[in-house]
Chains A and B, each alone.
Chain A
Amino acid sequence: MSNQRFRVNTPTVTHETIDGEAVIINLDSGNYYSLMEVASFIWGLVEKGASASEVQNLILQTYQGDATDIYRGVEELLAQLQQENLIVPVNGAGAFDLIQLNQELSSNNNHEKPSFNPPLLHKYADMQELLLLDPIHDVDDAGWPKPNPDPPK
Chain B
Amino acid sequence: MPTSQVAPSDIPGKEQASRSAEYFQSVYELFKSSQQVTGPVHRSYNIGGYLIRLNFSGAALLSLTRALEHLAIDGHSTPDLTICLWDSESTGQPMAPRPWQEGDFLARGVIQGYNTERIYTAFQHGSAAVSVLDKERNLAIFWAPDPRVPYWEKGSPLRTILHWWLLSKGLQLVHAASVGNSTGGVLIGGKGGTGKSTTALACLESDLSYVGDDYTLLGLDSGPVVHSLYNSAKLNSDQLERFPALLPKIDNTEQLDEEKALLFVNEHYPSRVATRLPVRAILLPRVTGLAETRLKRVSVATALAALAPSTIFQLPRAGNEAFKFLATFARQLPCFSLEVGTDLSTIPPVIERLLAEIDSTSLPPEK
Partner-B contacts on A (CB < 8 A): 10-12, 14, 16-19, 21-23, 25, 27-30, 32, 34, 124, 126-127, 130-134, 136, 140, 142-152
Contacts and interface: CB of A to CB of B under 8 A. Distances in A.
Contact of B312 (A19, A27, A146): A27
B1 A131 contact: yes
B268 interface: no
Interface core residue of B5, B300, B320 (most chain A CB under 10 Å): B320
Given A127-B191, A145-B128, A28 B5 contact: yes
A32 to B, nearest CB: 5
B113 interface: no
Given A14-B320, A27-B312, A150-B126, A144 B105 contact: no
B284 to A, nearest CB: 14
A147 B152 CA distance: 13
A16 B326 CA distance: 10
B5 A23 contact: no
A147 B128 contact: yes
10 residue pairs, one from A and one from B, having the closest CB atoms = A21-B301, A134-B125, A130-B313, A142-B97, A147-B128, A11-B7, A16-B327, A143-B98, A131-B107, A14-B320
Interface in B7-38: 7-9
Which interface class (under 10, 10 to 19, 20 to 34, 35 or more) fits B?
35 or more
A151 B312 contact: no
A146 B128 contact: yes
A13 to B, nearest CB: 9
Contacts of A29: 1
Contact of A131 (B4, B7, B145, B300): B4
B126 A149 contact: yes
A144 to B, nearest CB: 6
Interface of B: 1, 3-5, 7-9, 94-98, 102, 105-108, 123-128, 145-146, 150, 152, 191, 258-260, 299-302, 304-305, 308-310, 312-314, 319-320, 323-324, 327, 330-331, 365-367
Contact of A23 (B126, B150, B305): B305
B125 A127 contact: no
Given A16-B301, A16-B304, 14 more contacts: A19-B366, A22-B301, A25-B308, A30-B309, A30-B313, A34-B305, A127-B191, A130-B314, A132-B107, A143-B97, A148-B128, A149-B150, A149-B258, A152-B152
Interface core residue of A16, A28, A140, A146 (most chain B CB under 10 Å): A16
Contacts of B319: 11, 14, 27
Contacts of B323: 14, 16, 25
Given A18-B301, A142-B96, A147-B126, A25 B312 contact: yes
A147 B97 CA distance: 16
Contact of B308 (A23, A134, A152): A23
B126 A148 contact: yes
Contacts of B309: 25, 30, 32, 124, 127
B125 A152 contact: yes
A128 to B, nearest CB: 8
22 contacts: A11-B8, A18-B299, A18-B301, A18-B304, A18-B330, A19-B366, A27-B5, A28-B3, A34-B302, A34-B305, A130-B310, A131-B4, A133-B107, A142-B96, A143-B97, A144-B145, A145-B105, A146-B145, A147-B127, A149-B126, A150-B126, A152-B126
Contacts of A130: 108, 310, 313-314
Contacts of B1: 28-30, 131
A115 to B, nearest CB: 21
Given A25-B309, A34-B305, A19 B3 contact: no
Nearest to A19: B367
A136 B105 contact: yes
Contact of B94 (A124, A142, A151): A142
